[in-house]
């Protein structure tokens, strides 16, 4: 038979079991944390009607989309989880309770040019809160507070959630008589981190057509920095000149105050006037999240407030606020930077039961007893020499091997071997379970910062 060389497509992450175990732990933390805030799990199809998925149309995204036909159907793979959410909410609006809070942790597809650390299939881990007509500002503090919980749950502390409000920006540009150019200006200012102030100034003047005074005002404005109180105080000096600005400032103050009430320490969130998010549909609060020791990675978690989620699919006004973690990329970066905790168990089992007799019956029973005590237990059924069995336990990386020979069976015990120390003790099944559980029972974080 002709052999076809196996390969996985480039831009598609496929992990070895130990790495996958670490990724699974992150998924579990995400699910648990999102659920603890009362978000409902949602699972939408990977494939949607292309006409629906691309209702918004145009732009960079469309080129990247996996689109194809099957029979008469014009189909596409979802490229984010927001458009499917919009479809879902519009479709089921009468059956949902608003505010509708959902989380979805799923793969999305973008046929980007393959490059290191860029993925064509990647997980997004999203939460959104959708209101019917209205949505209280409190939700805009809760969303980043949940992200704070998630990141702390991963073991990260060196991160900062940066918060801004587009009404402040729009209002400020209006003060300068630049209301109509505010979209272009925001997209330019959004690049500040990447290209620096000089280039931003140049683009504002050359491409956006601002004069030197206007560009100077904008650069002075986005240079307002310091503690959150200092930034808010700096903004106060602009107050009273534009309603939208004032409204945005009030919202930003509320979000800042409530974030503190949620227990998010000031070192993990910052009012930052430079962020705007390049997407037109954000209308109020916007978020970006950076790893303090790896600013080059850019934002690993972004989102914001929008006034109308599903305008393409329904007349109903559905404002919302949401945020998305680019999980595959985050995991890739953490791994690349050596931040995944080596103490995090990567083995598929806590114990490997090795039957040393021909009849596997007693070993089967022992393994079941250990599982009943909550352990992950693999029963090794292969007829191999003892040395090979131990070599397998080593390669698998299991912390314990449990040996069961004639002697142990006669005594009603088993021999528990600690694979790291080599120490071996003879114990009853119940004591063995306790012994192993005590040794592995430590809630090791996924990420270990240096």
- Residues 378-417 interacting with its own copies (rule: CB under 8 A): 378-383, 392, 395-396
User: Of residues 165-224, which lie at the interface with its own copies (CB under 8 A)?
Assistant: none
Strands 320-326 and 301-306: antiparallel
Q: Which CA distances in Å does 30 have to 64, 106, 324?
A: 27, 12, 12
Q: Which CA distances in Å does 419 have to 231, 381, 397, 400, 423?
A: 55, 19, 8, 5, 8
Provide φ and ψ at 163, rounded to 5°.
-120, 140
User: Of residues 304-333, which lie at the interface with its own copies (CB under 8 A)?
Assistant: 310-315
| Least gap, CB of 125 to its own copies (angstroms) | 14
**85: which 2 tokens?**
């959410």
The 10 Å CB-count burial string (b at 16+, else e) for 75-96 is: bbbbbbbbbbbbbbbbeebeeb
The 10 Å CB-count burial string (b at 16+, else e) for 359-382 is: eeebbeebbebbbeeebebbbbee
CB nearer to its own copies: give 16 or 213.
16
| Least gap, CB of 55 to its own copies (angstroms) | 5
Q: Which of 26, 81, 85, 135 contacts its own copies by CB under 8 A?
A: 135
Q: Does residue 142 touch its own copies according to CB under 8 A? A: yes
User: Of residues 244-263, which lie at the interface with its own copies (CB under 8 A)?
Assistant: 258, 261-263
Q: Which of 26, 79, 85, 102 contacts its own copies by CB under 8 A?
A: 102
Binding mask 266-305 for its own copies (x = CB under 8 A): ----------------------------------------
Between CA 337 and CA 320 the distance in angstroms is: 35
Q: Which of 5, 116, 220, 450 contacts its own copies by CB under 8 A?
A: 5
Q: Which of 175, 219, 279, 364 contacts its own copies by CB under 8 A?
A: 364
User: Of residues 331-350, which lie at the interface with its own copies (CB under 8 A)?
Assistant: 348-349
CB nearer to its own copies: give 368 or 434.
368
Q: Which of 36, 225, 227, 230 contacts its own copies by CB under 8 A?
A: 36
Q: Which of 59, 92, 233, 336 contacts its own copies by CB under 8 A?
A: 92
| Least gap, CB of 102 to its own copies (angstroms) | 7
CB nearer to its own copies: give 90 or 186.
90
Binding segment toward its own copies, per CB under 8 A, in 65-73, 183-191, 277-285, 411-419: 65-73
Q: Which of 118, 187, 191, 376 contacts its own copies by CB under 8 A?
A: 376
Q: Which CA distances in Å does 12 have to 16, 25, 126, 248?
A: 13, 20, 20, 41
| Least gap, CB of 61 to its own copies (angstroms) | 14
Q: Does residue 46 touch its own copies according to CB under 8 A? A: yes
Residues binding its own copies: number (CB under 8 A): 100
User: Across the beta sheet with 377-379, what order do the strands follow?
Assistant: 377-379, 351-355, 400-404, 414-418, 424-427
Between CA 47 and CA 50 the distance in angstroms is: 8
Q: Which of 16, 213, 438, 441 contacts its own copies by CB under 8 A?
A: 16
């Amino acid at each position: 038979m002709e052999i076809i060389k196996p390969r996985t497509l480039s831009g598609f992450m496929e992990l070895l079991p130990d790495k996958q175990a670490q990724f699974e732990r992150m998924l579990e933390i995400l699910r648990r944390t999102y659920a603890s805030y009362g978000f409902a799990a949602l699972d939408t199809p990977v494939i949607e009607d292309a006409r629906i998925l691309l209702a918004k149309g145009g732009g960079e995204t469309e080129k990247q989309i996996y689109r194809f036909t099957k029979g008469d159907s014009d189909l596409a793979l979802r490229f984010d989880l927001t458009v499917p959410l919009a479809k879902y909410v519009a479709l089921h609006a009468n059956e949902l309770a608003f505010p509708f809070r959902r989380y979805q942790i799923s793969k999305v597809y973008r046929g980007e040019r393959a490059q290191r650390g860029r993925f064509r299939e990647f997980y997004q881990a999203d939460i959104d809160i959708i209101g019917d007509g209205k949505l209280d500002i409190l939700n805009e503090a809760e969303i980043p507070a949940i992200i704070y919980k998630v990141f702390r749950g991963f073991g990260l502390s060196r991160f900062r959630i940066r918060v801004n409000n587009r009404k402040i920006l729009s209002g400020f540009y209006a003060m300068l008589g630049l209301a109509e150019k505010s979209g272009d200006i925001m997209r330019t200012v959004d690049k500040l981190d990447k290209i620096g102030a000089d280039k931003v100034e140049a683009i504002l003047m050359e491409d956006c057509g601002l004069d030197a005074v206007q560009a100077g005002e904008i650069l002075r404005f986005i240079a307002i920095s310091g503690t959150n109180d200092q930034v808010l105080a700096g903004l106060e000096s602009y107050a009273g000149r534009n309603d939208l600005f004032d409204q945005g400032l009030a919202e930003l103050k509320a979000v800042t105050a409530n974030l503190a009430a949620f227990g998010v320490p000031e070192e993990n969130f910052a009012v930052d006037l430079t962020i705007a998010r390049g997407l037109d549909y954000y209308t109020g609060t916007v978020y970006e999240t950076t790893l303090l020791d790896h600013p080059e990675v850019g934002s690993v978690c972004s989102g914001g407030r929008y006034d109308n989620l599903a305008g393409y699919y329904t007349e109903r006004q559905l404002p919302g606020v949401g945020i998305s973690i680019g999980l595959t990329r985050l995991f890739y970066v953490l791994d690349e930077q050596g931040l995944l905790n080596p103490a995090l168990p990567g083995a598929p089992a806590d114990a490997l039961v090795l039957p040393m007799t021909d009849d596997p019956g007693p070993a089967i029973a022992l393994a079941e007893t250990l599982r009943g005590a909550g352990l992950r237990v693999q029963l090794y059924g292969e007829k191999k020499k003892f040395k090979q069995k131990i070599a397998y336990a080593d390669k698998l990386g299991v912390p314990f091997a449990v040996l069961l020979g004639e002697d142990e069976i006669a005594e009603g015990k088993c021999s528990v071997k600690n694979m790291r120390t080599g120490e071996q003790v003879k114990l009853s099944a119940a004591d063995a379970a306790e012994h192993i559980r005590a040794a592995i029972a430590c809630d090791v974080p996924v990420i270990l910062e240096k």
